[in-house]
Amino acid sequence: MTTHVKRAFKYRFRPTDAQAAELSRTFGCVRKVYNMALAARTEAWARQERVNYNQTSAMLTDWKKTEELAYLNEVSSVPLQQALRHLQLAFANFFGKRAKYPRFKSRKRSRRSAEYTTSAFRYRDGRLTLAKMAEPLDIVWSRSLPEGVSPSTVTVSQDAAGRWFVSMLCEDPSVRSLPVTDTTVGIDVGLDHLLTLSTGEKVSNPRHERRDRTALARAQRNLARKVPGEGANRAKARRKVARIHARIADRRRDGLHKLTTRLVRENQTLVIEDLTVRTMVKNRSLARAISDAAWSEFRGMLEYKAAWYGREVIAVDRFFPSSKLCSACGALARSMPLHVRTWTCEGCGTTHDRDVNAAKNLKAAGLAVSVCGAGVRPQRRTPGGQPATKQKTPRREP
């Protein structure tokens, strides 16, 4: 079965000097409009008034008529309108309690990007030309777009390392649901090993950040010695740090894409643990390693690829004691410190590898969730397998 999904195809491109100048102006105007609209909506909110997208769009028209903001007319109006739509979405997420209150865009720290809709670009014969530009972009076509498909939106961006990217959102008819299988796998994430599967397979942790830690530290020390300001030497040192970070992120993303694609192709149901990574990184001794493992990015890739190919991802409750529960008899160990990597069940005498046992328990819990619709926390049992005294149920987070 073919499922028509919206898919973004991202490419590097090399702008001419004129194109780079035009895009830089557009980025600045997008940031300016977004911040002014956010300020207007914040002031209205303080007066207990609501301002929507249509009102901010009318404000933009008035801003363009003033002498002070007349430069907004020099760039395409579409990215400016899209910035207002993004702000509207940010407020919708805030009021829906899905995100925090929108923040102002910083010239140095915020992502430099502009979004164009179909009225502001022309795509013909593999050549993309944006509004206000006479020449098409010099795109490095690392892969081709689906045959007969044209992008619905185009997003141009520049990262901190100075690299230019263009992302084309298309409806991809080539995504097909994979044949249904009866395989289910439990996936336990970790730091010693990135993943441990219920089959016993362990995926090593590549530790991308550690490979470049020395070069990164040297570049950061060099940046710290530069006088704060807009000097050329400081800008050069900042780009060098950004290039190292970009290299680490590219390797990490490439590895996760290959890993998640393999798991989704091989298994019908994938069971993971619902970890609160945002809370876990507050542990200063493990924050760097957890961030480098990118568990949240792994889960995100797994979920959207499973949706593409007709697979199912089940997230087991974070309080489920997957490591302390014996996968053979169901007995629950009293404690399981992190340094314990193998342990023997007092009930049945089975010796477990901590991570493999956790993956097996996740698989079993995931199957229970798929059948019953809710996870069941196992009751603590005595070494003889009998239920122990009633345990107080841990409080679940909302």
Supply the residues annotated as catalytic. Answer: 188, 273, 355
d(CA 336, CA 323): 7
The CA-based dihedral angle spanning residues 104, 107, 108, 111, taken in that order and rounded to the nearest 10 degrees = 70
> Tokens 């950040």, residue?
209
* Beta carbons of 11 and 165 less than 8 angstroms apart: yes
CB 149, CB 160: distance < 8 Å: no
- How many CB atoms neighbour CB 380 within 10 A? 17
Q: What 3-state DSSP class applies to 52? A: coil
Which token pair is 372?
């019953």
Sign of CA dihedral 261, 263, 264, 266: positive
| DSSP string over 285-345 | TTHHHHHHHTHHHHHHHHHHHHHHTT-EEEEEPTT--TTTB-TTT--B-S---TT--EEE-
**What does 188-246 look like in DSSP terms, one character per residue?**
EE-SSEEEEETTS-EEE---HHHHTHHHHHHHHHHHHTSPSSS-HHHHHHHHHHHHHHH
Dist. CA 158–CA 142, nearest whole Å: 18
Residue 339, CA distances (Å) to 333, 335, 343, 356 in order: 15, 12, 11, 15
327/350 Cα distance (integer angstroms):
9
